[in-house]
Amino acid sequence: MGITPPVGPGWSPPPPEECVESDSYTLFLTDADPPVERVKIRLTNGLPGMELVDFALVHETYYKRQWRTVAVADSSHDNEVHVHQYGRKTDRRIGKPDHICPIGRVADVTAGYDLAYDRVVSDWSTNRRRWHDG
Amino acid sequence: MDDVERAAITRLVYRRLTDPGFRDRLTAKASDGTRPIVVVLPGDSLERLLADVERLGGAANVVLPVLNGVVVIAMAASANSDAIDPGVAQLTSDCTVGLFFARLRIDGDEAAYRFVMERPDHRRDAGSAEMVALTS
């Protein structure tokens, strides 16, 4: 039986055996046919309370017949939620991660998930331009 | 106004994805294994929705606002109407999503239809859709 993740500095997601991981859900950002901009969402809930303990949002753009990563927001490390920007030329992360919020307790993951919407979904066109120039 | 409402519902669905109980209601899975989400408004064109479901991989979780929340309709659509039992109801697709939802409520939680589309080039085409879940 799992327990609710501890509160305080150094918080990290519980081990996989104490979690439930979601399928991948997809939001499409434009009406283009075929689709060219999408955000894939994966979430992990902790047992037994099913709080959100981890997530990843991945903005992808369809470019030259391939889905390419533009930006990734996640809560997986460094006790914070942040956004990684990617560059078109290298397909790698560019620059330092953009800090969204610290994670000191499990509720911060949900707060960070909500804030990540603004940075990845609402600001998708800005991220797309940055990716193209990067 | 429609764009504002659509954006607000999209954000609501995004927030509710944190709830595994809500995720369980998003049963439609596209051919690539992902679960597409499409937010629609009652006044949207059904023909446009069917085209969207097809372009997103043949299946989508369609979220529609109703009086006290949203309903999720798991839809599958295909341009190949031969795969559908010829005995199913035939609907014209030049109606709104709101009217389509009203029909679904009459027909029950699982329904299959054959749709007839009138294309701009006057070529009649057929598609199909199946509602496999209705939750609020």
Q: Do A26 and B37 touch (CB under 8 A)?
A: yes
pLDDT exceeds cutoff 60 at B133: no
Torsion angle (degrees, nearest 10) of CA A93, A115, B61, A129:
-40
Q: Please tell me the predicted confidence (pLDDT) of residue B19.
A: 94
3-state secondary structure of B44: coil
Burial group, residue A95, by CB count within 10 angstroms (0-12, 13-18, 19+): exposed
Return the structure tokens found at A40. 């894939």
Minimum mean pLDDT range among A21-25, A33-37, B61-65, B119-123 = B119-123
ipTM summary value = 0.89
Separation between Cα atoms, residue A36 and residue A67, nearest integer Å: 8
Separation between Cα atoms, residue B115 and residue B41, nearest integer Å: 20
Query: Nearest 5°: phi and psi at B93?
Result: -95, 5
Q: pLDDT tier at B127 (50, 70, 90 boundaries)?
A: low
- Section A87-103 average pLDDT: 95
Residues A119, A97: contact at Cβ < 8 Å?
no
DSSP A15: P
Q: Please tell me the predicted confidence (pLDDT) of residue B108.
A: 74
Greater pLDDT, B58 or B91: B58
Nearest to A113 among B18, B20, B30 (CB): B18
Concatenated DSSP letters for B99-131? Answer: HHHHHHHHH-SSEEEEEEEE-TTS-EEEEEEEE
Residues A60, A51: contact at Cβ < 8 Å?
no
Q: Please tell me the predicted confidence (pLDDT) of residue B115.
A: 76
- Residue of A29, A41, A110 to mutate, testing the B interface (most B Cβ within 10 Å of its Cβ): A41
Separation between Cα atoms, residue B125 and residue A57, nearest integer Å: 37
Q: pLDDT tier at A34 (50, 70, 90 boundaries)?
A: confident
Separation between Cα atoms, residue A50 and residue A76, nearest integer Å: 17
Q: Please tell me the predicted confidence (pLDDT) of residue B116.
A: 72
Write out pLDDT tens, residues A45-88.
Answer: 999 999 999 999 999 999 999 999 999 999 987 789 999 999 99
Q: Please tell me the predicted confidence (pLDDT) of residue B42.
A: 95
Report the predicted TM-score, pTM, of the whole model to 2 decimal places: 0.87
* Cβ–Cβ contact B24 with A under 8 A: no
A52 contacts in B (CB within 8 Å)? 18
Separation between Cα atoms, residue B87 and residue A37, nearest integer Å: 38
* Cβ–Cβ contact A41 with B under 8 A: yes
Separation between Cα atoms, residue B23 and residue B26, nearest integer Å: 5
Nearest to A43 among B17, B33, B37 (CB): B17
Most confident of A2-6, A101-105, B115-119: A101-105
Q: Do A23 and B23 touch (CB under 8 A)?
A: yes
Minimum mean pLDDT range among A114-123, B5-14, B18-27, B66-75 = B66-75
Write out pLDDT tens, residues B24-65.
Answer: 989 999 888 999 999 999 999 988 888 888 888 889 999 999
